[in-house]
Structure 1
């Protein structure tokens, strides 16, 4: 970006109150605009600003005299906040603290910079969540306000004393009115109930009630739903099940389902154009991504995207190579997948929606070891892998920083009895892992995971799908 200091050069034309035709139709958006914030001048392409920011989009559609000016003064902002906004709009992921956070929130609210608001949500942590929450309430940045409140509610055991010391009563009341996000699990080998006799208990989705340390039934799976080799994910507090298999010959399931917490009910959604099982499913920004998988025992590289609002699937760019059951996650609102390349190489690719392509992010080479699970926490990707010689009783872990582009190995090794760490999910600054013996919560401290508490294991045999849902009190009291 171009930044310099100096005096103003007012080249506005027309008198106050004179209206013009919208500049979007005039060709003026090809020009540069000087934005003056305090004593700092920013020179930016008008089209870039219009495409990135609701404030400038509305301005250049209004036909007001400001459309024709070469210089605009933003008197309500500070330069640092606008600089941060520009950095985020260009794809950077600045880690902010203190005054930077306040100025960034002020800018995001005043200029309605949605990508900056999302970035602030993505970097919420126990150190900044109270400041984020209070400042978002002050400036009316509602998406961040709600996200910060839920973050605080989920980490309330650690934060309650500080909350009561620093926040006004109305903000405390809102946090305490929220239901916390709960840890949810369902067996990963449940096939369609219409085809075979199964024990009813195995067809239940359960959540961990942390107050009594016990697993409780949330809902039953639809009879036509299978979790065996299916894609399972949560998006906008709804549970989705796509694909899967049933029967001895692994027949593909052609029905897909959505569970709504709000209605406590299941509904069908349309199936991908290419039926698939053993796929990876991840949800970001109102879309489901069905990544790879198999069909008729053939591993595929195809990817499909389901738009929640339109209810339609469309094909996206293929994976660089076929993959089934690949570790897939989201971090900083971005989509990542682990692909294996013999010998002993785990490659991480990112899907870039604006370009509809998969880009290689980094490679991890470890002797006789591949990444089997990946979770994102802020700007870090944690890759859980088997120990040497396919030793699945040990789980080793590496961390990749999206900001620095550097790998680091977490010290020691993690017990992986019956695949517990291969089902990890992140809540706030904690990670929940699960097996039949125990639920273990880790605290993410820096780049390390430290055991925090142990709770009851999932009372079902076999591997499980795990995820997070925010349940209303009416469901938790049943």
Structure 2
């Protein structure tokens, strides 16, 4: 009897059973899949609920899922193994249907990462049809971030209710904060610059979003956004450059700051990344010594824990997320770039790739779908050029973007991906490039961030 047949009704329940290491045969659309029960339970809430129900189906060796397509189930298995299944239009529909029915979180996360300007309308409509909430919301926000380009097509292909939800959202704002140190005796002088600012793209001007807390410092701190909250961790403050021992969190909805614990190991010049409910404080320095230690902060639990060390000490390392995965870029003097991925399941930094390229120093790394873009200064005889190399996680191949991107002397180059665009910033200009076909095509130029020193950029969804 299959799981959908409703067997094991009232009065026929068995004691809850624990999935064993034995194999289960799952029949989907005429195809047969043999998988370990424990793997299925870990990957899908459907199987987890089945094996906790005590129904007699949980003791069967074969289950039929008659309402799904075999390819959708195959994609769910691939996503649960950390693979990157490719999707055409039919595959998107089948994958969303499967992710919704099985409550397969790994596949849902993969679908969110797969959203682009070509498939966002299909994914939005399909996710709404099958009630896959995470994909529905992510696709809606993606459409809102590109609404000027997609408005006509959206109004032709979406229902009024779906259009209304998209238009109720605000696009992700481009936000920046410079490096500021707390110094009580000069606080009145520097108060005006101790602000987090957003770019009003309609007025082409920077406006204050919030002031930094008096105890916070963004000098050599880690700055990131997770679940639409801004985090500032570590750094130094005061004339004697004391390490900040607390972290700070800014809530957009409440327009308020709160204090969070600092890492167990005091650190500055660290890299901070947010992913899957955790902050990652990566490397940095303490007492002028570079460190390889890494700590993770569980936002829900409110505590830090040590994770696997980096392969070698690193301060100010370039980090990025792609497909929900965390990557760090370690520079070897002078011409070798190594990329590692943090694997939470095994708590290890796994080598991904290395690149030999002449450069004067590294800038940053950003992720867009299956690609990691490494942005750097050119060789020492032409260090004002910004060169961009792209590493594709699926093919394992490097490519160089054509052309080069001029960088103003004295400015720190930063980049943030929004939908299928990338926003870059220095003191003289904010530039938007459309990402497509392994190229960055200039789209528009806006006002630069008129402050000297280091600057962090990120996206926040602001209330209306």
Task: Work out the CA distance in 1 between the residues paired with 2:94 and 2:211.
Answer: 47
Hey, what does 1:364 align to over in structure 2? 355
Task: Work out the CA distance in 2 between the residues paired with 1:194 and 1:286.
Answer: 34
For residues 422-469 of structure 1, what are the alpha-carbon distances to aligned partners after superposition, in whole Å with 9 as ceiling and x for unaligned?
Answer: 210000001111112111000001211011001111132333111100
Deviation at 1:38, TM superposition (A): 1.7
Hey, what does 1:194 align to over in structure 2? 184
Hey, what does 1:4 align to over in structure 2? none
2:211 to 210, 220, 225: 220
1:22 to 16, 20, 31: 16
Are the counterparts in 2 of residues 382 and 397 from structure 1 also a CA contact under 8 Å?
Answer: yes
Corresponding pairs, count: 460
1:46 to 24, 37, 42: 37
Other structure's SS at 2:67 match: coil
For residues 291-338 of structure 1, what are the alpha-carbon distances to aligned partners after superposition, in whole Å with 9 as ceiling and x for unaligned?
Answer: 000011011110011110111011111100000000011111101011
Other structure's SS at 1:157 match: helix
2:437 to 424, 443, 446: 446
Task: Work out the CA distance in 2 between the residues paired with 1:346 and 1:419.
Answer: 23
Q: Does 1:172 align with 2:166?
A: no
Hey, what does 2:298 align to over in structure 1? 307
2:248 to 243, 250, 257: 257
For residues 30-81 of structure 1, what are the alpha-carbon distances to aligned partners after superposition, in whole Å with 9 as ceiling and x for unaligned?
Answer: 2211111121111111111111110001001111111121111101101111
Task: Work out the CA distance in 1 between the residues paired with 2:99 and 2:185.
Answer: 53
Q: Does 1:392 align with 2:386?
A: no
Are the counterparts in 1 of residues 372 and 391 from structure 2 also a CA contact under 8 Å?
Answer: yes
Q: Normalized against structure 2, the TM-score is what? A: 0.96
Are the counterparts in 2 of residues 16 and 65 from structure 1 also a CA contact under 8 Å?
Answer: no
Are the counterparts in 2 of residues 195 and 247 from structure 1 also a CA contact under 8 Å?
Answer: no
Are the counterparts in 1 of residues 206 and 449 from structure 2 also a CA contact under 8 Å?
Answer: yes
Gaps of 5+ in 1: 1-7, 474-478
Hey, what does 2:459 align to over in structure 1? 468
Would the alpha carbon gap of residues 293 and 59 (structure 1) be closer, same or farther in structure 2, given more than 3 Å must change? same
Would the alpha carbon gap of residues 243 and 33 (structure 1) be closer, same or farther in structure 2, given more than 3 Å must change? same
Task: Work out the CA distance in 2 between the residues paired with 1:463 and 1:159.
Answer: 35
Task: Work out the CA distance in 2 between the residues paired with 1:170 and 1:216.
Answer: 33
Task: Work out the CA distance in 2 between the residues paired with 1:210 and 1:171.
Answer: 25
Deviation at 1:420, TM superposition (A): 6.0
Hey, what does 1:412 align to over in structure 2? 403
Task: Work out the CA distance in 1 between the residues paired with 2:227 and 2:334.
Answer: 38
Task: Work out the CA distance in 2 between the residues paired with 1:165 and 1:213.
Answer: 31
1:235 to 209, 226, 230: 226
Other structure's SS at 2:316 match: coil
Hey, what does 2:103 align to over in structure 1? 112
Other structure's SS at 1:119 match: helix
Other structure's SS at 2:292 match: strand
Hey, what does 2:135 align to over in structure 1? 144
Task: Work out the CA distance in 1 between the residues paired with 2:410 and 2:171.
Answer: 26
Gaps of 5+ in 2: none
Task: Work out the CA distance in 2 between the residues paired with 1:390 and 1:71.
Answer: 67
RMSD: 1.8
